[in-house]
Amino acid sequence: MERNNGKNQITHKRVGILKGRLDDAIHKEERRKGRKLTKREIDRVKNKVLKKLTVRLIAGIGATFMLGSAVYKLGEGSGRVEGVTQADGKVVVDTSELENGNELHVNGQSDREVFVNGLKIDINSIEEKANDNAEQKAQTQKREEMIQKIKNDISNFQTKDDVLNYMKNLYQTEYTKETGQMLKDFGIIFTQDGTIQTIDNETKSIIEQVNNGKNENIDNRWYLAKEDSEVLLDLYNPMQQLENLRKEYNRESGKEYLAQYVDPQVVDSLVKYYDNQQEKTNESQGMEIGE
């Protein structure tokens, strides 16, 4: 039987903390997507969490252990420094023996190899991670600005026509991104069975047609979108939520009712749409979630 000594207890505690963070990250991603993650998605989340923990470890204690020329001078002129030893071509700093509050500044790391608990530290990698963190902060700020813009757009609706024009502009923008084609004159049709159609008003041809979140199999001669187009498919939920909002304007629902019960659902559906589009872009570029 393995002896349950202090070292083992610390190890078990660390493993428990890591597992807890992995579970939290997976649950958070599932709440954002509104469904269970696939095995591939779970692996990507785990990789992201491990990457963040590695960055924090390096950022938090890396500077303390980057043993350069300054470390070699710690004992000069002021006597021996507790926690610093030199032997066999190595300089070792044991921070547990340093006085509380002491700072350790290391300069001139040069080309010396640095190890933390036996693990080699790549200084270039630390700099890259710092750049990645700055880019991630910029993306987070950009997302927050996007959410605020959506909220402002929805709150500024005054009539049912405002909602319809917003839907058409949204579809026009996303369709052009996907196909490179501009739509001149088109309409959006919602039916009671959950079908959404976008129609070319000049030729009366169907641009795209989606029913209950699935592309409809229709005659290709009347299907104007490129093969396997998923513009309307991706927009299905936001479009349905916007149509629900437009119906409330038809019923002349009060602005307070809309702000409390309807607008948040519209905003949430649009935020999820844009998040999913960003995730697709990241996957196409070989990036991890949230990078």
Mean of the pLDDT values across residues 17-35?
77
The answer on pLDDT for 82 being more than 50 is yes
From 200, 195, 156, select the one nearest 182 (Cα to Cα): 200
More confident residue, 33 or 143: 143
Would you state the pLDDT for residue 181? 86
Output 106 or 75, whichever has higher pLDDT. Answer: 106
What b/e string do you get for 160-197 counting C-beta neighbours within 10 Å, with b at 16 or more? bebbbebbeebbeebbeeeeeeebeebebebeeeeebb
On whether the pTM is more than 0.75, the answer is no
For residue 66, with 0-12 CB atoms within 10 Å meaning exposed, 13-18 middle and 19 or more buried, which class applies? buried
Q: What local confidence, expressed as pLDDT, does residue 73 receive?
A: 42
Mean pLDDT of the chain: 74
Using the predicted structure, report yes or no on whether residue 222 has a pLDDT greater than 50. Answer: no
Mean pLDDT of all residues in 257-285 = 89
Mean pLDDT of 90-118: 59
- What pLDDT was estimated at residue 155? 93
Q: Where residue 216 falls among pLDDT bands split at 50, 70, 90? A: low
Average pLDDT value for residue range 48-76: 50
Distance from the Cα of residue 226 to its chain's centroid: 29
Q: Output the pLDDT for position 243.
A: 96
Give the residue-averaged pLDDT of 244-256.
Answer: 91
Burial of 138 (0-12, 13-18, 19+ CB in 10 A): exposed
Tell which wins on pLDDT, 288 or 128: 128
What whole-number percentage of the chain has pLDDT above 90? 27
Confidence tier at 258 by pLDDT (50, 70, 90): very high
Band of pLDDT at residue 120, cut at 50, 70 and 90 = low
Structure tokens at 186: 């088109």
